[in-house]
Amino acid sequence: MSEAPSAPASAEALRAAILERYDGLSKRLQQIARYVLDEPNALAIETLAVIAQRTGVQPSAIVRFAQGFGFDGASQMQRLFRDGLLSGPGAVGYSERARSLSASGGGHQLSQLVEGDTLALKNLPQTVSNADLTAATRLLAAAETAYVVGFRRAFPIAAYLAHSLAQAGKRLVLIDGVGGLAHQQARMLTPRDLLIAVGDQPCADETVQAVEIAASRGAPVLSISDSLVSPIARPATLTLQVREAEVRGFRSLSASMCLAQALVIGFASESARKEGVRAKRTKTGRPVSAGGPTRSGARRPGRG
C-alpha cells in the first residue's frame, strides 16, 4: 500500500502539485482542480455546498480531492488560500462581483460593461505578477523570431501583438491561417523561436494545434489564457492568466489588450536597454557579446 502524500504547506505548493498531477486526475477531479487554480479567492471563503454547485460535482468529491493531496478535508485545503486574501485585498470579491454584474438585468449596457472591464483590469495584477511579465519579456527578447497565434475572439489581441512587436523591431510571423495554412505556418517554428498563443476556453482548434506543434519541435510557448490548465496553457513554457469580465454573455477583451500592451512596452524597453549597453561597450572599446539572454529561467507549468 502506497504512503499517503503529505499536504502542501502553501497555496503555491498546492498549485504546483495540481499542475503536475492534473493529467492523471479523473474528469470530475479536474473540474475541481480548475476551480482551485482559477478561483483561489472564492475557494477560500465559499462554503463546500457553493463550491460543489459551481464546479458541478458532489461535496464528497471535493473532500476526496483534498484528501488526494494530503489534507484531512476540504476546510484544511481552503485555509491555505486565506492568508493570500489578507495581503491582496484587490482580488477579494472579484468573482462574486463579476457574477453579480453579469446576472444583473438593470442599468445601462454601457455602465455595466465599463464596471465589468474596471473589475477585470483591477484584478489583472493579481493573476500576472511583475515577475511573470519580466519572464515573458525575456522569452520574447531571446527568440530569433516570434510567432503569434490567436483565432476567433482572440484574433484582435494576436493581431495587435503582431503589429506592435513588429513596430518595436521584433522579427515576427502572424499565424493567420489564410488559405488553410495555419498548420504549415506553425511548422516553421524552431527551438530558437517563440510561439505566443492567445485564447480562452474553449480554445480554437488551430491555436491548440499550433501549441502542440511548437512543443513537439522544441520551441518555447508563451500562453495568454484564462486558465492555467487550458489546452494552450498546459504545454506552455510560461502562462499569463487573464480573467476577462463577462456581461450578459459578452466577454470583454480589455484586460487581455492591457496585458498585450504591457508585454510590448516591456519588450521595447528591454531592447532599448540592450541597445544602450551595446552602444556604450562599442564606444569604450569593450567586446560586445553576440549572445542573447538564456532560457534557463523559463518554467513549464505542470512539468515538475
Whole-angstrom Cα Rg for the chain = 21
Q: Give 274 or 1, the one with higher predicted confidence.
A: 274
User: With contact defined as beta carbons under 8 Å apart, do 198 and 210 qualify?
Assistant: no
In the listed set 69, 89, 109, which residue is the last one of a domain according to the structure? 89
60 belongs to a structural domain: yes
The pLDDT, as a whole number, for residue 63 is 93
CA–CA gap between residue 186 and residue 212 (Å, rounded) = 9
Amino acid at the residue 267:
F
| In a shared domain, residues 185 and 74 | no
176 and 260 housed in the same domain:
yes
**Helix, strand or coil for residue 25?**
coil
User: Quick check: 262 and 254 in contact, CB under 8 A?
Assistant: no
Instruction: Read off the CATH number of the domain in which 168 is found.
Output: 3.40.50.10490
pLDDT band for 290, please (50, 70, 90 cuts): very low
pLDDT at 119: 85
Q: For residue 152, count other CB atoms closer than 10 A to its CB.
A: 14
Is the pLDDT assigned to residue 300 strictly greater than 60?
no
Cβ burial of 98 (10 Å; 0-12, 13-18, 19+) is buried
Indicate if 60 and 169 belong to the same structural domain.
no
Do both 138 and 78 map to the same domain?
no
- What's the pLDDT tens digit per position in 170-197? 999 999 988 888 999 999 999 999 999 9
Q: CA of 47: how far to CAs of 56, 62, 120, in Å? A: 14, 11, 24
For residue 25, CA distances in Å to 21, 29, 65, 282 come to: 7, 6, 9, 55
Q: What is the extent of the structural domain holding 59?
A: 11-89
Grid coordinates representing 69? 493531496
Lowest-pLDDT range of 31-40, 130-139, 190-199, 272-281:
272-281
Q: What is the pLDDT of residues 135-154, one digit of tens each?
A: 999 999 999 999 999 999 99
* Distance of alpha carbon 10 from alpha carbon 89, whole angstroms: 19
Confidence (pLDDT) at 92: 45
At 51-81, the pLDDT tens digits run 998 889 999 999 999 999 999 889 889 888 8
For residue 156 the three cell numbers come to: 484582435
Burial class (CB in 10 A: 0-12, 13-18, 19+), 137: buried
Supply the DSSP symbol for 70: T
Kindly list the distances between the CA atom of residue 180 and the CA atoms of 15, 157, 173, 184, 211, in Å, as whole numbers in the listed order: 38, 20, 16, 9, 17
Three-state DSSP state, 43: helix
List of residues 6+ apart from 52 with CB closer than 8 A: 58, 59, 61, 62
Q: What is the mean pLDDT of the segment spanning 97-104?
A: 54
- What is the C-alpha separation between 13 and 259, in angstroms, rounded? 26
Confidence of residue 304 (pLDDT cuts 50, 70, 90): very low
CA distance 97 to 119: 8
Give CA 143 to chain center in angstroms: 19
Examine the domain organization and report whether 41 and 129 are in the same domain.
no
What percentage of the chain exceeds 90 in pLDDT? 47
Q: Is the pLDDT of residue 88 over 50?
A: no
Cis peptide before 8 (omega within 30 of 0): no
For residue 292, what pLDDT is reported?
46
Residue 101: inside a domain: no
Residue 19 lies inside a defined structural domain of this protein: yes
Q: How far apart are CA 233 and CA 25, in angstroms?
A: 17
Shared domain for 51 and 139, answered yes or no, is no
Do 85 and 131 belong to one domain?
no
Asked if residue 106 has pLDDT above 50, the reply is yes
Whether residue 87 has pLDDT greater than 50: no
- Does some domain include residue 102? no
Do 23 and 140 share a structural domain? no
pTM of the shown model: 0.76
Structurally, how many domains does the chain consist of? 2
